[in-house]
Amino acid sequence: MVTKEKVHAFLKSWSHGLQQIQKTYLDNGDYQAKAEDFIKSHYLFDEENVFFKPTMTKENIFRNNSKEALSYFIGNDISEDQGFALSCEDVEIGMVNVLIEDGLISASGLFDFKITNIDENTKVAFTFVLKETHSGLKIKIHHSSPVQ
């Protein structure tokens, strides 16, 4: 049974996983494998369709498959992707709202990202629609945008 506590634990896992990609990158480790594992453990791409609207996109707005998501997180195939996870030093989660009803699991709130070489934190409003799987919660829909 999904609880608000499980949703909060998932959000912490997501933010920790993002930071681990950057740590692996800075340690000259296999950050691509770390990012691929992060995507597999937090998103449903391998199991079904996913809608993913990342925060820092302007030209190619959506990343609706794992290859495009990987490009967003570590830079790769899409020219505007600079590797968001590679510069993410810290993530604070705030103002979380959780809705669990009739099979719908959603969370919305704020991420406060500390990005390398940027003085001010980047505040982002997010909404995740989650699905319970045999391996835990995973993201079905991810929408995030900067808070102005």
67, pLDDT greater than 90 = yes
Per-residue pLDDT tens over the stretch 81-129:
999 999 998 999 999 999 999 889 999 999 999 988 888 888 999 999 9
Distances (CA, A) of 134 to 41, 44, 85, 131, 138: 11, 12, 26, 10, 10
What pLDDT is attached to residue 103?
A: 85
User: Rounded to whole angstroms, how far apart are CA atoms 13 and 41?
Assistant: 10
Q: Could you tell me which residues are beta bridge partners of residue 104?
A: 101
pLDDT of residue 11: 98
Instruction: Please list, in sequence order, all residues whose beta carbon lies within 8 angstroms of the beta carbon of residue 10, skipping any fewer than 6 positions away.
Output: 42, 107, 130, 136, 137
pLDDT score of 148 = 78
Taking the model in full, what pTM does it have? Answer: 0.94
122 with 92: CB under 8 angstroms? no
Place of tokens 């770390």: 34
Contact between 104 and 129 under an 8 Å Cβ cutoff? The reply is: yes
Domains of the chain, start order: 4-146 (3.10.450.50)
Percent of the chain predicted with pLDDT > 90: 86
Does the pLDDT at position 76 exceed 90?
Answer: no
103: left (phi over 0), alpha (psi -120 to 50) or beta: left
